């Protein structure tokens, strides 16, 4: 048996329980790891509260990211052996392959032997943020040198990953944040410019920064009313990559701006990269190269022990964090 986090009803962080559960043997093509650290994602809070794209079957486990040591391999697994140090590319279903536990089972194809230079905490904070940002900026957006890139929710782990990736390819990252509280930290994290929504008019400031060429790409998980000023500041032929829907307000479709500038508004989920072996291999190579060179380095907001998983989820939903929340075991 092992200690596993589960919930028996939908609700707030308080529904999470640590329970002793019998862990099945890994199936064909699967690997069981002894977990050392977990990376938390907003998707887990959404699943727990019944608002995620996947519907929990109660009682349900949860979690998408982990790092640890291979404990046992199933039939047909090659290239991974007990004792290997690995981190996990997020699976399509966290209900089928939940990460929150002392041990966890995943498809072998999703395990990566991460650089030895990474701590357990850093290794657990790699794949969701960098794969999501890579997919939007590089795989879909084709961002390159001197492109202006607007990154909203910039202090999130994905936002910070996008800033680092933009800098790696010579683009110019513009961080958008709600208040000035995180302005200095965003500049120190690599943002070339910071736009504060509470203090500045978004469209005018982006046009001032982008100049006559305008903004080449917008990378946004929010939606809602900011669609109109964002698209108004974009260059002709620009692309807005939408990878979330955090705003509770309706998202207007800026019809005439899209027509006049022949813009592309592109919905995106990281699973389209993870689910395509060729695209995933290119993404992994890019990210591992960045980790090795130091161009990519996970920023950890706060670390919690496993027994404080409820407190960790409350902090996740506070929006106070700057970077990734990690739980250690």
State residue 173's pLDDT score.
Answer: 98
Q: How far from 175 is each of 181, 237, 275, 276, CA to CA, in Å?
A: 13, 21, 29, 29
Q: What is the pLDDT of residue 114?
A: 83
- pLDDT in the model for residue 122: 97
Torsion of CA 168, 172, 177, 183, to 10 degrees: 80
DSSP one-letter string for 228-258: HHHHHTEEEEEEEEE-----SS-----HHHH
Phi-psi region of 29 (alpha: psi -120 to 50; beta: other; left: phi over 0): left
Give kind and range of the element (H or E) at residue 190.
none
Three-state SS for 35-104 is EEEEECCHHHHHHHHCCCCCCCCCCECCCCEEEEEEEEECCCCCCCCCCCEEEECCCCCCCCCCCCECEE
The Cα 197–Cα 206 span in angstroms is 11
- Candidates 187, 244, 185; CA nearest to 219 is 244
- β-bridge partners, 32: 72, 105
pLDDT at 129: 97
Whether residue 91 is preceded by a cis peptide bond, meaning omega within 30 degrees of 0, is: no
Asked if 180 and 281 touch (Cβ cutoff 8 Å), the reply is: no
Q: Mind giving me the DSSP string for 1-32?
A: -EEEEEESS-SSGGGEEEEEEPPPPP-TTEEE
Residue 112 has a pLDDT of: 96
- For residue 28, which phi and psi values (nearest 5 degrees)? -60, 130
Within a 13 Å sphere around the CA of 266, how many CA atoms are in the beta-carbon half?
21
Mean per-residue pLDDT pooled into runs of 10, the chain (329 residues)? 97 98 94 98 95 93 97 95 96 96 97 92 97 98 97 96 98 96 97 97 97 94 96 97 92 95 96 96 97 96 98 94 96
**Whole-prediction pTM:** 0.95
* Domains of the chain, earliest start first: 2-126+298-328 (3.90.180.10), 129-271 (3.40.50.720)
Question: For position 319, what pLDDT does the model report?
Answer: 85
């Amino acid at each position: 048996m092992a200690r596993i986090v589960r919930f028996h009803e939908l609700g707030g962080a308080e529904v999470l329980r640590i329970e002793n559960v019998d862990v099945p043997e890994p199936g064909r093509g699967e690997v069981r790891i002894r977990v050392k650290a977990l990376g938390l994602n907003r998707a887990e809070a959404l699943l727990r509260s019944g608002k995620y794209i996947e519907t929990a079957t109660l009682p349900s486990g949860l979690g998408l990211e982990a790092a640890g040591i291979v404990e046992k391999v199933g039939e047909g697994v090659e290239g991974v052996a007990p004792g290997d140090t690995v981190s996990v590319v997020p699976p399509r279903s966290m209900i089928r392959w939940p990460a929150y536990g002392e041990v966890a089972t995943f498809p072998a194809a999703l395990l990566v032997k991460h650089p030895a230079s990474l701590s357990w905490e850093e290794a657990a904070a790699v794949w969701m943020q960098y794969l999501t940002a890579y997919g939007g900026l590089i795989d879909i957006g084709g961002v390159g040198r001197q492109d202006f890139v607007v990154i909203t929710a910039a202090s999130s782990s994905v936002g910070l990953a996008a800033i680092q990736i933009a800098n790696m390819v010579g683009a110019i990252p513009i961080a958008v944040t709600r208040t000035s509280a995180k302005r200095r930290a965003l500049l120190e994290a690599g943002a070339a410019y910071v736009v504060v929504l509470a203090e500045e008019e978004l469209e005018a400031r982006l046009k001032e920064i982008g100049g006559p060429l305008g903004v080449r790409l917008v990378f946004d998980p929010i939606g809602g009313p900011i669609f109109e000023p964002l698209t108004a500041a974009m260059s002709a032929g620009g692309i807005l990559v939408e990878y979330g829907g955090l705003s509770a307000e309706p998202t207007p479709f800026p019809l005439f701006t899209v027509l006049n500038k022949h813009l592309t508004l592109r919905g995106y989920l990281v699973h389209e990269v993870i689910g395509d072996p060729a695209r995933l291999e290119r993404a992994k190579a890019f990210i591992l190269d960045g980790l090795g060179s130091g161009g990519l380095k996970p920023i950890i907001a706060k670390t919690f022990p496993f027994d404080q998983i409820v407190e960790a989820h409350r902090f996740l939903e506070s929006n106070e964090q700057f970077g990734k929340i990690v739980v250690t075991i």
